Structure 1
Amino acid sequence: MYLTDRSTPPRADTGRRRRRGLRSRAAPVVFVLGTVSLITDISSEMVTAVLPLYLVTTLGFSPLGFGALDGVYNGVSALVQLVGGHLADRVRNHKLIAGLGYGLSALCKPLLLLAGSVGTLGTVLALERTGKGLRTAPRDAMISLSTPPENQGRAFGVHRAMDTTGAMLGPLAAFFILRAATDGYDAVFGVSACVAALGVLVLVLFVPGGQRAARADGPTENTGRQRHHDEPDDGGAPPDGAGATDGAATADTGPPVHLREALALLRLPRLRALAGCAALLGLTTVSDAFVYLLLQRRAGIGEQWFTLLPLGTAVVFLLLAMPVGALADRIGRRTVFLAGHAALLLGYALLLWAPATPVLPPLVLALHGTFYAATDGVLPAALADIVPGQLRASGLAIVGTSQALARFCCSLAFGAAWTVWGDGPALAGAAAGLLCCATVAGMVLRPTGGTRS
């Protein structure tokens, strides 16, 4: 069982691939969805950048209280991903469900201005994450279905690079707003709402919907699942005889998908292995907010500079997302995926034992960004050879939910461990767990037969 391997067609197809040129690498819909994500991430990361400091220093949250709220912030979207993925496959309109998700998140941004209590704030954040959960699987399904299997890593790398550009600009905007505005946090929340509305507008106007979305620049030849001659048979067929086709048209044609068909995806051994390993590794992936709080304490960074820490991660992610995605297409996604977790483990080690020198923050942030570049787009790219096109959003939701729920549990556990034992022992436990889990994942996802990793 393995994450996925190179999907490069035989050399006989080289001429055809060359004729397709750049068009086969990233369809226009990928760039449009990347623009929507860029704008939306500016809005979201403006809030995310100030939220840890706002909750801990202004509202007086304990690490346990912050861990619980951060867990809710991420856990709600995890559960809703399953709903969003299934709805998108059932109604055969990925744009509609994604648009509802983007719209709900945008509506919640101005409500942050009215959230004066912990309960109200938690409710608003839960609704905002509900929007994220609805949109994630349909959006990734549109990217996957418009891209040939051999270029999935590159396409998701392009999207994640544009998405990360927004993640880079968001904290920077929050930094300048906090310095310029009298009521800094309210100003950040207000501007964030306006930017989110712009993202929804771009989605509505420029992303094709219905069958046009399914056909827009999607692969039109050799749409069947490409598999090497030495790839093992998983022994699990798609439900109801659906072939694992990658043609985009399968997303918006045919009868509605029933819930039992989506659940039957769990019979696929490769999907179960992928979802299980994503969850296992997620259990030891410390929340970004905790990483930044730890780095601030270790390096003695002033509060006025805190909002710039996510910028460092975003810059590295932006620079590496496309080349690392293309590398995963060439040498195997399992290798790149596990290497990303090794980078994260090294970042934990630096936070635990490295002296507080001026090079500590850039080193930790570089490793943090490398981790995301090697995992965030590679994981959904791996599903192109596993899940049939008409169930792609459901498959993406299953894997994404397993990972996000595990990270929700990690946030709760890490916050509790920090409160009881302190930040050092809590991080040491997470690092030891990550090492063990990565070892297990490497064995479960190892290549079989003659495949390369």
Structure 2
Amino acid sequence: MLPSQRLTAPPGALSPSIPATVWMLGFVSLLMDVSSEMIQTLLPLYLAGGLGASAVTIGFIEGLSVAIATATRFLSGLFVDWSRRSKPLAVLGYGLGALSRLVFPLAATLDLIIMAKAMDRVGKGIRGTPRDAMIAAVSPPEIRGASFGLRKSLDTVGGFLGPLIAVLVMVLMAGDIVAVFWLAAVPAALAMAVLVLGVREPPGTRAGKRADFRLSEALRLNRAVWAVIGIAAIIMLARFSEAFVLLKSLEAGFSPTWVPLSMVIMHAVYGLAAYPVGRLSDRIGHTGLLLWSMAFLVGAHLVLAFAATVPVYVLGTVLWGLHMGFSQGLLGAMIAAATPDMLKGSAFGAFNLVTGAVVLAGNTAAGWVWQSHGSEMPFLLGAGLSLMAMLLLAISARRRRLG
């Protein structure tokens, strides 16, 4: 199936309801994202102010953490396809993420921060593929976009609440970032409880290990899957880490205590957009919505490049949130639609492996450009790459129509 192919229900047919497993996994994502954002929204400030890290170092740490997560996702995807079980791997991944929450508040050096980030990202890498594979397994094709969009929306509710809680704790604790890090362990523990008690292994995935599974087979994904992976790589190259968006907030006039509010705004917009965009993609296809997402990213980069006041900066974060809402859920649904059932884990793993390598290179480059040429230049380069991605998407869509 081509990435832009539409999936529609027969006229007059009622769409199936979203399965309970999707809702439970969404709530797990929500709670873990509350925990993650309580840390991540303040970590760049802690690295720069408390530990004296440069923009290059911050970019490398952010890129390395994503690369670790995505390489791990590839291996976990192979394991899912071989073992035909997803939940145990998801429990392991979320468990590592929860344990890392106890390391961050104790980390007084860059080495310990990198260790905590690595533990968290390994956990994120392990859990991402089996979680997506479970969603794909329980969701009928005609509502796959809605299912992935709902999971993303609930995830971004966590991204909305986490920074709010961080701001509240910063105000009550007189700017004590370490206190925020300690409290982040609570929602992570709740996420583990919901996952263990509320999520069941999808039916049809417990038939035992696949005796016919071959690594070479898993790597021979079809052209439609690689087309989606190529599109995602271009998008990830154009969109570097949100750590740079957070650092830019200081130049726009935010004090450190209120910096997390920028993520509140971004994730509110992201969460409100992801589910309706997912449902819309089930009816009209993906290409047009992805083009809109890149248009929003162009606007975000240009606005943030010259954001010298809080209102201008807020506009940039709104546009960034719209880009995320119009792209993230769609990419997962496109991978699910283009992949045979027995290779979904491998497809999600390959998807994350490729995009992770791109993010590592892009974030490190953005940090170097920031340090060498000022904070405006990374965003201007991001706008140019976004325009290039739009052009390539349009050309690819035109070729599919003509072909």
- State how 1:181-330 maps to structure 2 within 5 Å: 181=173, 184-209=176-201, 213-214=202-203, 249=204, 255-256=210-211, 257-265=213-221, 268-297=222-251, 299-330=252-283
Q: Which of 331, 335, 351 pairs up with 1:383?
A: 335
Amino acid in structure 1 at the alignment position of 2:382 = A
Question: Which position in structure 2 is the counterpart of 1:225?
Answer: none
- Please state if 1:59 is matched with 2:51: yes
Partner of 1:8: 8
CA positional deviation for 1:361: 2.9
Go from structure 1 to structure 2 and tell me whether the alpha carbon gap of 1:377 and 1:253 turns closer, same or farther (over 3 Å shift): farther
* 1:26-37 paired onto structure 2 within 5 Å: 26-37=18-29
Query: Structure 1 CA distance, aligned partners of 2:399 and 2:223?
Result: 14
Structure 1 residue 139, shift from structure 2 partner? 0.3
Q: Is the 8 A contact 2:262 2:314 kept in 1?
A: no
Compared CA separation, residues 158 and 251, structure 1 to 2 (3 A): farther
Q: Which residue of 2 aligns with 1:127?
A: 119
Q: Distance in 1 between matches of 2:76 and 2:45?
A: 31
List per-residue Cα deviations over 1:141-170 (Å, max 9, x = no partner): 111111111211111111111111111111
Contact 2:41 2:246 in 1 (8 A): no
Alignment partners' CA distance in 1, 2:91 and 2:341 = 20
Distance, in Å, in 2 between the alignment partners of 1:69 and 1:29 is 34
Deviation at 1:203, TM superposition (A): 0.4
Write the distance in 1 (CA, Å) between the matches of 2:348 and 2:291: 19
Offset at residue 255 of structure 1 (A): 2.3
**Pair 1:345-2:301 in alignment:** no
Report how far residue 67 of structure 1 moved: 0.8
Cα offsets for 1:275-333 (capped at 9, x unmatched): 11211221121211112222431x22222211111100111112111111111111111
* Native 8 Å contact 1:3 1:445 kept in 2: no
Cα deviation, 1:117-151, whole Å, max 9, x if unaligned, reads 11121112111100000000110111111111121
CA contact (8 A) 1:167 1:314 kept: yes
RMSD: 2.0
Partner of 2:315: 363
| Contact 1:251 1:390 (8 Å CA) reproduced | no
Partner Cα distance (1:250, 1:198) in 2: 26
Question: What TM-score do the two structures reach when normalised by structure 1?
Answer: 0.84
**Deviations along 1:89-125, whole A, 9 cap, x unmatched?**
2111111111110001111110112222111211121
Could you tell me whether the CA contact under 8 Å between 1:296 and 1:306 is conserved in 2? yes
Give the secondary structure class of the aligned counterpart of 2:254.
Answer: coil
What percentage of residue pairs aligned between the two structures are identical? 33
Q: Specify the SS of the correspondent of 2:235.
A: helix
3-state SS of 2:276 partner: helix
User: For each residue in 1:322-349, what CA deviation from the matched residue of structure 2 results, as whole angstroms up to 9, or x when unmatched?
Assistant: 1111111111111112211110111111
Look up the match of 1:85: 77
1:400 CA drift (Å)? 2.3
Q: Letter of the aligned partner of 1:416 in structure 2?
A: W
Measured in 1, the distance between the counterparts of 2:388 and 2:207 equals: 42
Alpha carbons of structure 1 residues 115 and 334: separation in structure 2 relative to 1, 3 Å:
same
**Alignment correspondent of 1:139:** 131
* Number of residue pairs the alignment of both structures matches: 402
Q: Which sections of structure 2, spanning at least 5 residues, go unmatched? A: none
TM-score by length of 2: 0.94
Residues 83 and 209, structure 2, Cα contact 8 Å, conserved in 1: no
Equivalent residue for 1:175?
167
Partner residue in 1 for 2:385: 433
CA distance, structure 1, for counterparts of residue 26 and residue 165 of structure 2: 19
- In terms of Rg, which structure is larger? 1
Q: Residue 376 of structure 1: SS of its match in structure 2?
A: helix
Quote how far apart the aligned CAs of 1:183 are.
7.4
Q: Which amino acid aligns with 2:332?
A: P
CA contact 1:324–1:374 (8 Å) conserved in 2: yes
Tell me the CA shift for residue 438 of structure 1. Answer: 2.5
Give the alignment partner of residue 355 of structure 2, picking from 388, 395, 403. 403
Letter in 1 for 2:60: A
Partners of 2:176 and 2:207 in 1: CA distance: 45
Report what 1:233 is aligned to: none
Q: Which runs of 4+ in 1 moved over 6 A?
A: none
1:163 aligned to 134, 138, 155, which one? 155
Q: Give the C-alpha shift of residue 4 in structure 1.
A: 2.5
Quick one: distance in 2 between partners of 1:167 and 1:156? 16
Deviations 1:253-294 (A, max 9, x none): 6724332221121xx111111111211221121211112222
Question: Given the superposition, is the C-alpha separation of residues 447 and 331 from structure 1 closer, same or farther in structure 2, using an over 3 Å criterion?
Answer: farther
Q: Distance in 1 between matches of 2:367 and 2:397?
A: 30
Decide whether the 8 Å contact of 2:31 with 2:188 is kept in 1: yes
Which residue type is aligned with residue 40 of structure 1? M
